Amino acid sequence: MDLRDAANELYAVTPREFTAERAGLARRAKDADQKDLAKEIGGLPKPAAGAWAINMLAVHKPEVIDGVVRFGVSLRTAQEDGDAEAFRELGQQRQSQLTAAVHAAKDLASELGAPLSAAAASDVEQTFRAAMADAGAAAAVKTGRLVRGLSGSGFEAVDLTGAIAAAGPDDEPATEAGNAPAKRSAKTKPAPLSKNVAPSRDAPSKEKAPPQKSSQDEATSLADRRAAKQKAALEEARREFEAADQTAKEAEAAASAAWDTVNDFAERRANLKSGIEDLKKRLATLEAELIGITRDAESAESDKKRAVRAATQQRRAADQAQRRVDRLS
């Protein structure tokens, strides 16, 4: 067992099992006389909730991670190639891709007995957003050993310092050549213009002949115009994307607040249901007591009637005896 193997085992468990699993792995290494490895294992940090959920996807539902990574490759390729139309279309699809991936993480976390909070779900979305924008972040989420969430603007490389447990050369992003078309230059460097041909000595005019453009010069000029047009379209697409991204972030914030409200109502409803169940049980107990008391009251009423009849009969007999005494006196 090496540190990578230990980390792969450790970051595949639930949060409540993490500490015990880490201690067990360190003990195994120590028993195998690998004291340095045991110390390294003991120093592996517990992942944040959002990072843990992404690790679980990498272990249990890798197709979700692969979908995020492939979408990011397409998005970056469209940007690098200056394909404004493709970049715009993918930008419009990005939020739905992120939402689906976050929902998959939340569902899996709930299945594993560790539901995500709104903050952790937001961290998952931010990490997937970074993975779509940056190849290094994409490689990080695929490791299944993520320690913390990632963030990136899409214009600078994502900071991966301390983000991956037991990181090594294998965690570096692979070339995307196999996943996307090769990068093309946004602008072709113009070829040098051909020199003007000097006029013949026998020519009647002393004026120089107008410069003639070669087919190569014309092709270069056309390429420049196309590149400039493509660059302008890309800038426009970026502006549209930034505006849409800001709108999406505001909508996400509103959705997060709505999510918290729903969770609050759900908790209050659960508490009320629990209170109602307690009251129902108390009511059932009281109803049973009422039935018993009613039965006892009916029995006591019957006993009372019998006692009254007996007392009346005895009083009559006493009165008769008294009258007899009076006659004989």
User: Count of domains in the chain?
Assistant: 1
pLDDT for the residue numbered 185: 34
Q: Which residue has the higher pLDDT, 47 or 215?
A: 47
With a CB cutoff of 8 Å and minimum separation 6, the contacts of 144 are 8, 11, 12, 55, 58, 59
Q: Is residue 322 part of a domain?
A: no
Q: What percent of the chain has pLDDT over 90?
A: 46
Banded model confidence at residue 23, pLDDT cuts 50, 70, 90: very high
Q: Is residue 328 part of a domain?
A: no
Least confident of 25-29, 67-71, 175-179: 175-179
pLDDT for the residue numbered 190: 36
Mean pLDDT of 265-270: 82
Q: Is residue 241 part of a domain?
A: no
Give the highest mean pLDDT range of 161-170, 192-201, 246-255, 261-270.
161-170
Banded model confidence at residue 269, pLDDT cuts 50, 70, 90: confident
Mean pLDDT of 256-282: 82
Q: Which residues of 78-112 are buried (b: 16+ CB within 10 A; e: fewer)?
A: bbbbbbbebbbebbeebbebbeebbebbbebbeeb
Q: What is the per-residue pLDDT across 308-327, written as a single tens digit (0 to 9) for each? A: 988 888 998 888 888 888 88
Distance (Å, whole) CA 256 – CA 120: 11
Q: Is residue 182 part of a domain?
A: no
Contact 55, 12 (CB under 8 A): yes
**Is the model's pLDDT at 260 over the cut of 80?**
no
φ, ψ (nearest 5 deg) of residue 44: -70, 125
Q: What is the per-residue pLDDT across 189-238, written as a single tens digit (0 to 9) for each? A: 333 333 333 343 344 444 444 455 454 555 565 566 667 776 777 777 77
pLDDT for the residue numbered 220: 61
Q: Is residue 86 part of a domain?
A: yes
pLDDT for the residue numbered 174: 56
Give the highest mean pLDDT range of 96-110, 263-277, 308-322.
96-110
**Is the model's pLDDT at 146 over the cut of 80?**
yes
Using alpha carbons, list the distances in angstroms from residue 317 to 185, 187, 271, 324, 326: 129, 132, 68, 11, 14
The domain in which residue 122 lies consists of 47-171
Mean pLDDT of 286-295: 89
Q: Is residue 326 part of a domain?
A: no
Q: What percent of the chain has pLDDT over 70?
A: 81
Least confident of 24-28, 67-71, 223-227: 223-227
Mean pLDDT of 135-159: 90
Amino acid (1-letter code) at residue 186: A
pTM above 0.75, yes or no: no
Q: Is residue 286 part of a domain?
A: no
6: exposed, middle or buried (Cβ count in 10 Å: 0-12, 13-18, 19+) = buried
Q: Is residue 291 part of a domain?
A: no
Banded model confidence at residue 178, pLDDT cuts 50, 70, 90: very low
State how far Cα 209 lies from the chain centre. Answer: 70
**Is the model's pLDDT at 128 over the cut of 90?**
yes
